[in-house]
Structure 1
Amino acid sequence: MSATRVLVLNSGSSSLKYQLLDMRDASRLAAGLVERIGEQTSHLQHTCVGTGATREQHGPIADHDTALKTVGQELARDGLGLDSPELAAIGHRVVHGGMFFTEPTVIDDAVLTEIERLIPVAPLHNPANLTGIRTAVALRPDLPQVAVFDTAFHTTMPESAARYAIETKVADRFRVRRYGFHGTSHAYVSRATAELLGRAPQDVNVIVLHLGNGASASAVRGGRCVDTSMGLTPLEGLVMGTRSGDLDPAVIFHLRRVAGMSMDEIDNLLNKKSGLFGLCGDNDMREIRRRMDEGDDAARLAFEIYVHRLKKYIGAYYAVLGTVDAVVFTAGVGENAAFVREAAVAGLEGLGLAVDGERNAVRSGEARLISPEGARVAVAVVPTDEEMEIARQTYALVGNSG
C-alpha cells in the first residue's frame, strides 16, 4: 500500500506547530505544539488523536532540530514515527512566496534560495520557515518536502488589484505590491463554502472574512482570489488585535518628524500596539464584549471602529465581485463571536445580507448557514483548517509518486 500520511509543520521563530494526517480519509492522527524553543522554559504538548491521550514536556529545547527530534520521539511512542514507511511527505507552511511561487512546490536548493531572497519582505516569518524546512530535510532527506505558501492563493489577483499606485520602476525593483496572506485559510474556506451551498467552487462568488488576532478579507470569484485586504505585509486592511490595518501612510512621516519616533518604534507601534489593543488596551474580543456590557466607552468605540472597517470591506468586495453568493466568517473571532457576525452585517439588508438570531447563536464546530431561510445572499460560518489545506495540497502534489 502506498504511503498516505502527511506531516504538516508550521515553524515560527521560537515555536513548532505540527499535525500528522492520513489522507486516505483526511483524518488527524496526532497534533502538537513546541513553544519557547531556545529557552529554559520550553514546553511541548502532544496529542494522539486516536487514543485521545495528551502528553506534555517541560524543560529546555535548544533549537528547532532538537524540537523536531523530540516531536519524532512523541510520534514514535504512538506508533507514528518519522521513520514510518507510511509517511508520504512533509508539508511546510511558508508565509511569503512572492510572485514566484503560485502553487505548492517540492523543495530543492533553488526553492530554498528563492525563499531566502524573499526575507526582506517577510523578515519575521520566512527565516523561521526556512529553519523548519532545513531541520526536516536533515532528518528525512529521502522524503519529499513541500512548501505551501500563504501568498499563493492571492497570486490570481489582477494587476489592477495587486499593484499600488506608485512609480512602477520603484515598485518592481523592490517588489512592492499587494501579496496578501492567510491564503491557505481563504482557499480552504472558500471551497468549503461552495460545498456547503451544494455548488462547485467555480460557480460561486464568496467574500471570506478571516477574523482572528490577525484578520483579512478576500473576494473570491469562481474559486480564484480577485482581491484581498492584506498587502505587502500583513499590516494592511482590517482592524486587528494589535495591528492598525489601513491608515494614511503620511501618519508614519508625521510620527517620525513631529513625534521624533524611530522607524523601529513606529513599526512596533503599528504592528504590536495598535488595533483593538491600541484603542482600548485589550485584543481579546471576549474581554472587549465583557467590558462593553459593563458600559466601558473605550471598549465600545474600539468595537465600533472594528465593525466599521469590516463593513467597508464587505461593501467594497461586493462591488468588486458584482454578485455575491455568500459572506463567510472564519478563524477564532469569526467562528466564535456571534455578536461580531451580527454587527458586521447589520444594516446591509439592501445587499441581501442578514443573520437569523437563533442560527447565529448556535455554537458548533461544523460549517453552517446563519442567514434566514431563503436569503438572497448566504451568510455562513465555516471553521478554517489551514493544516488540512496544507496536507491536501502536499499530498495532491506528491501522493501518487510513490
Structure 2
Amino acid sequence: MSYRLLILNPGSTSTKAAVYDGDRQVAMKSIVHTNQDLAPYPTLYDQLDYRVALVRGWLGQEGIGLSTLSAVVGRGGIIPNIVAGGYVVDDNLVDCLRNYPVFDHASNLGGLMARAFAQPLGIPAYIYDAVTSDELLPEARVTGFKEVTRTSFCHVLNARATAHKYAEALGRKYEDMNLVVAHLGGGISISAHSRGRIIDSVSDDAGPFSPDRSGSLNMLYVVDLCYSGKYTKKEMLKKLRGEGGMSALLGTHDCQEIERRIESGDEWAALVYKAQALQIAKGVGIMLGCFTELIDAVILTGGLANSKKLTGMVIDYLHNLVKVVVIPGENEMEALALGGLRILRGEETVHTFHPACALVP
C-alpha cells in the first residue's frame, strides 16, 4: 500500500514542511519567520494558525491536495514522561503540549500543527522521537547528588534514524542490535542503543566539548567560576551553550575554517581539533561501559561527521576496540517520515500519551 505523509518541523525562525510518497521526498520547503513576522503573536502557541496557514499555502502552490495525505508527522516537542518512537497526537498530548511542556520550545508546535491538518481529514497525526524521550535504565539515573536524578537528553531523532539506516543496510533490525551513536553537531551527544532502547546517554553538557558548547568539566572549577563574581547566571549558561567549545578556544566553530588554519601551520588549532577528537572518543568509551555484551558498532553521525579529518582521528583512537562507521549528516525530515512510515506499515506500535505515566523503569 502506498502512503503519502506531510512532515512538519517547526523551529524558532522557520517551519520546515515536506511531503513524502513512501520513503521518497516529493516536495520540501523551509519557510522563514523573521522577528517582524512573529511580533504580532504574544506567545509561541499564538503562532499556530499563522504557521499552519503558511504550510497550507505552500501545499496549494505545489498542487498537493490535502485529501491525498495518509498521515501527518510533526517534530516531537519537549514533553515529560515519554519514550522513544511515535505517539498519536490525541487530546491528552495536545493538552500537554499546550499547557505542561518541560519548557516552551518551537518544536512543541509540531504535534499541534500535525493535529490541525489531520483532524479535519480524519487521518492520524503523530509525533516521533521527541528530544525528551527517556528510556534510561534505573541504574543510569542515579547520581552522587541526592537532589539530582539523571534523565536522558540527546539527539534522539537523528541517532535512532541513523541506527535504523545502518541496521537496514546490513539486512538486520535495529531492535536486534547493540550500537553506540555519537551525534556530532553544534552540540555533541552520545547514546547507547541496546536492542531498540536507548539505555543511557551523554548529553551535550556532560560529555565532549563541541563547536559551541563547553561539555563536561571538573565540577569544582565550575563552582569556583559560578561564585567568582565575574559572571552572571545567564553568562555562565552562555559559556556552557553558545559561547563554549571551539568557539571559545578558536574564535570560530566553522570546521572548514579550522582545518584551513591547521593546513597553514596553526599548531593551536591542530591541538584543539585533536582534543575534540579525543573527547569524542572518550565519550564513546563511557557508553561502551553500558553494555554487558559485545556491541555491533559505533556510529559517527551529524554535521561534523562530514569532516574526514575529525572522524579519522576519532577512529584512530577507537579502531582497536570496536568497529566504527561514519554516516554523516542529519536529515530530520527523512527521519520523521521514515518513523511515520514504519507506524503506518505496522512495523512499529504507536504509543498513546498518558499524562500521569511514569518514566520507563
Bin the TM-score by the shorter chain: 0.7 to 0.9
Q: What does residue 358 of structure 1 align with?
A: none
Q: Which one of 216, 225, 228 corresponds to residue 246 of structure 1?
A: 216
Per-residue CA deviation, residues 31-64 of structure 1 (Å, 9 max, x unaligned), is 121223442699xxxxxxxxxxxxxxxxxxx955
**DSSP 3-state at the match of 1:272:** coil
The amino acid that maps onto 1:93 is: R
The answer to whether structure 1 residue 208 and structure 2 residue 181 are counterparts is: yes
Matches of 2:98 and 2:139, distance apart in 1? 28
- Are the structure 2 counterparts of residues 183 and 300 from structure 1 closer, same or farther at C-alpha, using a change threshold of 3 Å? same
- Are the structure 2 counterparts of residues 192 and 243 from structure 1 closer, same or farther at C-alpha, using a change threshold of 3 Å? same
Q: What does residue 20 of structure 1 align with?
A: 19
Matches of 1:3 and 1:27, distance apart in 2? 11
- Are the structure 2 counterparts of residues 387 and 163 from structure 1 closer, same or farther at C-alpha, using a change threshold of 3 Å? farther
Matches of 1:102 and 1:308, distance apart in 2? 29
Q: Which runs of 5+ in 2 are unaligned?
A: 40-45, 347-361
Q: What does residue 91 of structure 2 align with?
A: 109
Alignment of 1:40-59 (within 5 A): none
The answer to whether structure 1 residue 185 and structure 2 residue 155 are counterparts is: no
Identify the structure with bigger relative contact order (alpha carbons < 8 Å, sequence gap 6+): 2
The amino acid that maps onto 2:54 is: T
Q: What does residue 355 of structure 1 align with?
A: none
The two structures, once aligned, show a CA RMSD in angstroms of: 2.9
Q: What does residue 31 of structure 1 align with?
A: 28
Query: 1:117 deviation in Å?
Result: 5.8
**DSSP 3-state at the match of 1:190:** helix
Q: What does residue 287 of structure 1 align with?
A: 257
Alignment of 1:1-400 (within 5 A): 4-23=3-22, 26-39=23-36, 63=47, 65-81=49-65, 84-116=66-98, 119-120=101-102, 122-123=103-104, 125=105, 128-138=106-116, 141-143=119-121, 144-151=124-131, 155-167=134-146, 170-171=147-148, 176-230=149-203, 234-321=204-291, 322-334=293-305, 336-352=306-322, 377=323, 379-381=325-327, 383-397=329-343
Judge conservation of contact 1:16–1:64 (CA < 8 Å) in 2: no
Query: 1:101 deviation in Å?
Result: 4.5
Judge conservation of contact 2:167–2:173 (CA < 8 Å) in 1: yes
Per-residue CA deviation, residues 73-129 of structure 1 (Å, 9 max, x unaligned), is 222222214xx2111222111243333354421223321333356544x44x2xx22
- TM-score by structure 2 length? 0.82
The amino acid that maps onto 1:107 is: V
Judge conservation of contact 1:8–1:391 (CA < 8 Å) in 2: yes
Q: Which runs of 5+ in 1 are unaligned?
A: 43-61, 353-376
**DSSP 3-state at the match of 2:289:** helix
Matches of 1:116 and 1:64, distance apart in 2? 11
Aligned residue pairs, count: 337
- Pick which of 391-400 and 217-226 moved more: 391-400
Matches of 1:301 and 1:191, distance apart in 2? 34
Judge conservation of contact 1:94–1:147 (CA < 8 Å) in 2: yes
Judge conservation of contact 2:186–2:211 (CA < 8 Å) in 1: yes
- TM-score by structure 1 length? 0.74
Q: What does residue 351 of structure 2 align with?
A: none
- Are the structure 2 counterparts of residues 250 and 295 from structure 1 closer, same or farther at C-alpha, using a change threshold of 3 Å? same
Judge conservation of contact 2:184–2:302 (CA < 8 Å) in 1: yes
Matches of 1:350 and 1:206, distance apart in 2? 16
**DSSP 3-state at the match of 1:207:** strand
Matches of 2:324 and 2:244, distance apart in 1? 32
Query: 1:140 deviation in Å?
Result: 5.1
The amino acid that maps onto 1:147 is: I
- Are the structure 2 counterparts of residues 200 and 70 from structure 1 closer, same or farther at C-alpha, using a change threshold of 3 Å? closer
**DSSP 3-state at the match of 2:241:** helix
- Are the structure 2 counterparts of residues 277 and 110 from structure 1 closer, same or farther at C-alpha, using a change threshold of 3 Å? same
**DSSP 3-state at the match of 1:350:** coil
The amino acid that maps onto 2:97 is: I
- Pick which of 5-14 and 93-102 moved more: 93-102
Matches of 1:95 and 1:40, distance apart in 2? 22
Query: 1:340 deviation in Å?
Result: 1.1
Q: What does residue 363 of structure 1 align with?
A: none
The amino acid that maps onto 1:86 is: T
- Are the structure 2 counterparts of residues 385 and 290 from structure 1 closer, same or farther at C-alpha, using a change threshold of 3 Å? same
**DSSP 3-state at the match of 2:74:** strand
- Are the structure 2 counterparts of residues 394 and 194 from structure 1 closer, same or farther at C-alpha, using a change threshold of 3 Å? closer
